[in-house]
Amino acid sequence: MKESKKTEELKKKLIYKRKNFWQDNSKKESDRAFTFSENYKDFLDMSKTDRETIKYFEQKLINGKFTDIDKEAKGRNVYRISRNKNAAIAIVGKKPVKDGVNLIVSHIDAPRVDLKQNPLSEDGSTKLGILRTHYYGGIKKYQWMSTPLAIHGVFVKADGKVIDVCIGEDKNDPVFVMPDLLPHLARKEQYTKKIGEAIAAAHMKIVFNSISFPDDKEAKDAVKLNALSILNDKYGIIEEDFLSAELEIVPAGKARDCGIDRSMILGYGQDDRICAYTSAEALFGLTGKNLDKTAIVYLADKEEIGSEGNTGAKSVFIIDFIADLLKHNKENYDSATLRKTLINSQILSADVNAAINPNFPGVHEKENAVHLGFGISLTKFTGAGGKSSSNDANAEFNAKIIRIFNEEKVNWQTGALGKVDEGGGGTIAKYMAEHGAEVIDCGPGLLGMHSLYELSSKADIFSTFKAYSAFFKKG
Ligand SMILES: [Zn+2]
C-alpha cells in the first residue's frame, strides 16, 4: 500500500532515521572517504604497537612544524611525548586556555600477546625452541592459534641503548606461530570444554626455532643455544636482555581492503588506532586556522588493561600538560586555575563501539546499536548492567555535539554497546570526567572488535575524521 505524500513528509519530519553514508553522500564525498582511508592503512601497517604509533606521530609532528613544549616551544602548535608511549598534541586557540579546551582522547594500545620476561626454552619432548607468552587485554585466545605472527618491540641494554625489533612484517622475514591442536585429537582436550577454556594461557607458546647449535649439536639445550646465538649475531643481545625487554606478538601482515566494493578495511589494532589517526589528522588539518578554543589530541596507552600506569589515562600526564599549556600561553597556572580550566573543558572519549554483526545480531538491540557504514557513533553511556561504571554524558552536552555534527554534515548515529544484561564494557570517559569536564564517548563501530583482524568501514573512518574536525572548530 502506497503512503500518501503527507504521511511521507510527516515521517521524514518526525522520525529519527540513521543515514547510510554511501546513500546519503555524493560520489565526490564517497571518493574522499576512499582516498582518506588509503593513508590510514599505511598508518596501521607502521603502527602495530604503542611505541610504533608514537614514533609515527612524532615524525609527523616534526614535519608539521609542531614544537616540543619541553624544548624550543614557541607559537601555537606544541606537543609532549612521554616515555615513548603516550602523547598530547595541542593547537592553542585565540581564547585563554583557562576558558576550557576541546580535547579528544583515544588509546594507542591494542589487545595482543606479550613475551614473558624469561621466555625462551627448549622443549624437552619436541626439541623445539619455544617462547612463553602472557596475553595483554581482552582476547579470545583461540583466535591466536595457528595464524602467522610477528614480533615487535624493544630490548633495552643495561647501558640504556635501545634496540628496536620487528620480525615478520617484511615479505622476506620469517613469521612465528602458536600451533593449535588438530581436530582429530581435540575431542577430549578441547571439544568437551567451554570455548573460553579450550585454549589455556599455557597453550600459547610460540615455536621459535628447531635447529641445534651447529658447533655442538649434542650439547644440552643446543636448540635454545642456537636461538640465542642467532639473536646475538643480529641484535647483540644475551638472554638476560629479555628480562627487561618489551616484546609484543601481533598478527603478521598488512591491513587490506575488504569487500568486493572495497568499502571496508580489515586490519589489526583498529581499536583504537582508528580514533588516534582520525583525531590527529583532524588536528593537523586545522593548523594555521586560528581556532577559538585550544584543541588537544591525547593519545593514551594501557586502556586495554584499565588505563593504569604512568602512560595510561588515569595518570597525571594530561593534567600536567594542560597546566604547562596555561604557562606556555602566559596565563596563571596555579591549581585553582587548572581545576577551573578542566571543569570548563569538553572531551570526546574517542573509542570504537561494537557494530551489529550479521553473524550474531542477537546480542544487540538494533534500534540502539551501531551500524557499519552509518557514520560515527555517539554513545551517551557505556558500562554494564544498570549503567555501572559509566560516565553517562549530560543531555546538554550530548545535544550540543549533535548540533555541531548536523551543521557540519557529519553522518552520525547513536550507539549503545550491546543489549542491557548482555555484557558491557567501558573506556576512558569516566576517568576524564573525574576532572569535571563534559565528556561523551564518540567513535566508529567495528565488527570483530578485539579479534586479530577488525573490520571497519571507510564511510565511518571518514565520518569520524569529519566529526573530530567539527568538534575542534565549533565545540
Ligand atoms: Zn578501545
b vs e for 173-196, b when ≥16 Cβ sit within 10 Å of the residue's Cβ?
eeebebebeeeeeeeeebeeeeee
> How many Å lie between the centroid of ligand 1 and the Cα of residue 110?
7
312 pLDDT above the threshold of 90? yes
Residue with the three cell numbers 579479534: 451
Round the average pLDDT of the chain to a whole number and report it. Answer: 94
How many angstroms separate the CA atoms of 464 and 387, rounded?
Answer: 25
> How many Å lie between the centroid of ligand 1 and the Cα of residue 21?
23
pLDDT of residue 73: 73
> How many Å lie between the centroid of ligand 1 and the Cα of residue 277?
13
> How many Å lie between the centroid of ligand 1 and the Cα of residue 86?
15
Q: What is the mean pLDDT of residues 427-431?
A: 82
> How many Å lie between the centroid of ligand 1 and the Cα of residue 314?
15
- CA Rg, the chain, in Å? 24
Contacts of residues 15-21 at CB distance under 8 Å and 24 or more positions apart, as own/partner, are: 18/371, 18/374, 18/375, 18/413, 18/414, 19/374, 19/375, 19/411, 20/371, 20/373, 20/374, 20/411, 20/459, 21/373, 21/374, 21/375, 21/411, 21/457, 21/459, 21/460, 21/462, 21/463
> How many Å lie between the centroid of ligand 1 and the Cα of residue 4?
46
Q: What is the mean pLDDT of residues 84-92?
A: 97
Q: Coil, helix or strand for 120?
A: strand
> Strands 112-122, 246-251: parallel, antiparallel or unpaired by DSSP?
antiparallel
Q: What is the DSSP string of 45-68?
A: HH-SSHHHHHHHHHHHHHHTT-EE
pLDDT of residue 391: 83
1 pLDDT above the threshold of 90? no
Q: Coil, helix or strand for 78?
A: strand
List CB contacts of 173: < 8 A, sequence separation 6 or more: 150, 167
> How many Å lie between the centroid of ligand 1 and the Cα of residue 345?
22
Q: Are residues 101 and 341 in contact, defined by beta-carbon separation less than 8 angstroms? A: yes
DSSP E strand boundaries for 398-466: 412-414, 424-425, 438-443, 445-446, 454-457
Contacts of residues 34-43 at CB distance under 8 Å and 24 or more positions apart, as own/partner, are: 34/262, 34/458, 36/281, 36/458, 36/461, 36/462, 36/465, 37/265, 37/458, 37/461, 37/462, 40/265, 40/274, 40/277, 40/278, 40/461, 41/254, 41/255, 41/256, 41/257, 41/265, 41/267, 43/273, 43/277
> How many Å lie between the centroid of ligand 1 and the Cα of residue 28?
31
Q: Show the cell assigned to 293.
A: 578554543
> How many Å lie between the centroid of ligand 1 and the Cα of residue 52?
17
> How many Å lie between the centroid of ligand 1 and the Cα of residue 269?
9
pLDDT of residue 424: 66
> How many Å lie between the centroid of ligand 1 and the Cα of residue 325?
27
74 pLDDT above the threshold of 90? no
> How many Å lie between the centroid of ligand 1 and the Cα of residue 15?
31
pLDDT of residue 439: 95
> How many Å lie between the centroid of ligand 1 and the Cα of residue 383?
13
Q: Show the cell assigned to 30.
A: 564517497
Region of 176 on the Ramachandran plot (φ > 0 left; ψ -120 to 50 alpha; else beta): beta
> How many Å lie between the centroid of ligand 1 and the Cα of residue 126?
39
How many angstroms separate the CA atoms of 105 and 89, rounded?
Answer: 11
pLDDT band at 325 (very low <50, low <70, confident <90, very high): very high
> How many Å lie between the centroid of ligand 1 and the Cα of residue 372?
17
> How many Å lie between the centroid of ligand 1 and the Cα of residue 264?
19
How many angstroms separate the CA atoms of 257 and 284, rounded?
Answer: 25
> How many Å lie between the centroid of ligand 1 and the Cα of residue 426?
9
> How many Å lie between the centroid of ligand 1 and the Cα of residue 124?
40
pLDDT of residue 89: 98
72 pLDDT above the threshold of 80? no
> How many Å lie between the centroid of ligand 1 and the Cα of residue 200?
24
List CB contacts of 281: < 8 A, sequence separation 6 or more: 36, 465
421 pLDDT above the threshold of 80? no
Residue with the three cell numbers 567451554: 194
390 pLDDT above the threshold of 90? no
419 pLDDT above the threshold of 80? no
Percent of the chain with pLDDT over 70: 98
pLDDT digits (tens, 9 = 90+) for 141-191: 999 999 999 999 999 998 999 999 999 999 999 999 999 999 999 999 999
pLDDT of residue 425: 67
pLDDT band at 216 (very low <50, low <70, confident <90, very high): confident
pLDDT digits (tens, 9 = 90+) for 342-365: 999 999 999 999 999 999 999 998
Q: What is the DSSP letter of 278?
A: H
Q: Are residues 351 and 275 in contact, defined by beta-carbon separation less than 8 angstroms? A: yes
- DSSP H helix total and E strand total for the chain: 11, 22
Q: Show the cell assigned to 66.
A: 609542531
> How many Å lie between the centroid of ligand 1 and the Cα of residue 106?
8
How many angstroms separate the CA atoms of 103 and 326, rounded?
Answer: 15
What phi and psi values does residue 136 have, to the nearest 5 degrees?
Answer: -125, 120
> How many Å lie between the centroid of ligand 1 and the Cα of residue 276?
10
> How many Å lie between the centroid of ligand 1 and the Cα of residue 440?
14
Q: Identify the CA nearest to 57 among candidates 73, 78, 74, 81.
A: 81
Q: Are residues 303 and 109 in contact, defined by beta-carbon separation less than 8 angstroms? A: yes
